[in-house]
Structures are given as structure tokens and as C-alpha cells.
Structure 1
Amino acid sequence: MSDTDRLAALEQRVAELEKKFRGPAPGPDAFWALEGLLERAGEPGAVLFTGHATLPDGRTARWQEAAGVGDLVDGDWSQHVAALAALAHPARIRLLQQVLRGAATAGELQRIDGMGTSGQVYHHLRQLVAAGWLHTAGGGRYEVPVARVIPLLSILMGARR
């Protein structure tokens, strides 16, 4: 293979990696979801989150939810404190991540480095179940409810900003 061919192949691989990690280049369809929301929402606006995820256990999460800005800004935010507080602990975030990756039982979750005692793990699992981020699936297994997968991932995306 000539140097020119190797360079062309390398440039192609870099372009594919950049597209994978940055998404498509901005263009006329870059804001297709936003454009659709703008067509449907009046003033003062709306917020939309949507997503699709196939989980390691084979379940598929497909979700879309929209809310008016006025309803969100004027609503009672205090009713969401428990759900948000449950996410505000490093051990709980790690537990949720591991459950989404396929760990399902308390025994599997207890083996995570630095997770603490079995009592601590069960305490965090109870908090996540009480807040609705996890539920028991029988046989000592835990899973993130399908209806919570995309909202959870959307919160994490928002926190990256």
C-alpha cells in the first residue's frame, strides 16, 4: 500500500470516528427535532426529550415527552426533589449505570469496587426503588424501568452541559 493510500485510509477512519463521537455535521437537518417542536409549540415555548435505547437485557426503551415552558416554570418543582435527590449520590449513580450495563442482582452490584458493605448497597437500592429509578424484577434482580431509561439518560446529557 502506498503512502498516499495509507494516508487516505487514515483520513477516512478519522472522519468516521469524528462523526461517531460528534454526530453529523451541522446542516439543514441538524435541528430536525427542534424544528418539529417549533412547528407544534406556541409561546413561550416547549421542552422535548426523546430517545431510543436497546439495553443489554434485550429490552427496548423508546420515549418521547414534551412539556410547555410555562407549565414547567410555573409548576411545583418541590414534588421532584426525591427523584433528583436519589440521583445525587455517587454510589447510586454507579449502581444505576451498572444496572443499565447488565448487572442485575444485589450480589453483582456488591462486587463493584468501592461500593461498600452489603447494607450500604441495599440502602442505596431501596432509595433508588423508592424514587422510581429502579424496580425489582423478581429473583432478586433489579432493573431500570423502561419508562425511566430515556429520562435518566436525558438528565445525564443535560448535566454534561
Structure 2
Amino acid sequence: MEVEERLAALEDRVAALEGRKSVDPAKFWALTGLRERLPDSGGVLFTGAVSLPTGEYYEWQQEAMAEDQFDRDWSDLSGVLAALGHPVRLLLLKEILKGARSTAELQEHESLGTTGQLYHHLRQLVAAGWLRAAGRGQYAVPGSRVVPLLVVLAAIQEPA
């Protein structure tokens, strides 16, 4: 690698590091507010205000200190994440958030498989806390899980 290329690469790295220290407060208003509340070890915040197609409305905010997250055992979270790792389960959650709440309504969707498969996936989502039984053959995403679910989905998408 020639000196000019190495210098350009080094300048790019320095610029990237400097960029981490100063952010546009108008663009990163939530981050600016979070920094005011955080210890030096840092933390994360997720928040949202969501109107569902059903007319339900949820607001949620949760913060976690980075040190606490690094100190905890992450393996106990694997079941909650694994429940989201199947395309049928993601489709179920989407359909339920859009208003299909009964197993009869869900069975009408051709991509959700047989009745046995449907119940298997519903049980997995209930066990992981992403769904709750809302009555006989009725399911709902708990209000406290609506924004976190959308955050998880947004977090795994490519940033704009």
C-alpha cells in the first residue's frame, strides 16, 4: 500500500472517530437526551408511539445501562429471540397486530400452515411472551411488547 493510500485511510478513520463524538442534535435528539442521563459506561434507549391498524395506540420507552447489559447472562434471552426466528411466527405477529385475533381468522391465511402448525407457532409465541391468550381462541400482542417488537424488527433492517 502506498503512502498516499495509507494516509487517506488514516484520515478516514480519524474523521469517523471524530464523527462519533459530535452528532447533529436535531437529527439525534433522542441520543442527545439520553447522554444527559447516562453514566460514562453508556446505555441504550428505545421508545415509540404506535397506532395499529386496529385503532389501538401504544407508547413505550425503555432504557438499559450498558454495564448492566454486559453483566447479565444473555443465554436466558435466546428463547425470546428464537421465537421470532421463524417466518410463520413473524407473519402471525404481523397479522395479529393488523387485527386478525382469532384462530379462525388466522387459519384463513394460506401461509400459516395446518391447524396443528398454527397452534404450535402460537404456543411458541405465547411461551416467549410475544403473544398472550386473550380468550378462547383469541390472541393479542401484549401492549408492553408492541414497541419492543417493532424495535427488534427495525434494528435488524439495513439502516437508511
TM-score w.r.t. structure 1 length?
0.80
Match of 1:70 among 67, 70, 73: 67
Match of 2:30 among 28, 33, 45: 33
User: Please, what is the CA RMSD of the aligned residues?
Assistant: 1.5
Per-residue CA distance 1:40-65 (angstroms, 9 max, x = gap): 10111110000011223332211100
Q: Structure 2 CA distance, aligned partners of 1:115 and 1:57?
A: 21
Per-residue CA distance 1:86-115 (angstroms, 9 max, x = gap): 001111011001111111111111121222
Give every structure 1 segment of 4 or more consecutive aligned residues whose post-TM-superposition deviation is greater than 4 Å.
Answer: none
Q: How many Å apart are 1:140 and its aligned residue? A: 2.0
Which amino acid letter does the alignment assign opposite residue 108 of structure 2?
A: R
Identity between Structure 1 and Structure 2 (%): 51
Q: Structure 2 CA distance, aligned partners of 1:131 and 1:79?
A: 11
Is there any run of 5+ residues in structure 1 with no aligned partner, and where? Answer: 1-25
Between the two proteins, the alignment pairs up a number of residues equal to 136
Which amino acid letter does the alignment assign opposite residue 79 of structure 2?
A: A
Q: Structure 1 CA distance, aligned partners of 2:64 and 2:111?
A: 39
Q: Structure 1 CA distance, aligned partners of 2:116 and 2:87?
A: 16
TM-score w.r.t. structure 2 length?
0.80
Larger deviation, residues 54-63 vs 146-155: 54-63
Pairing 1:6-155 to 2, within 5 Å after superposition: 28-155=25-152
On the 8 A contact 1:105/1:141 being kept in 2, the answer is yes
Q: Structure 1 CA distance, aligned partners of 2:155 and 2:28?
A: 17
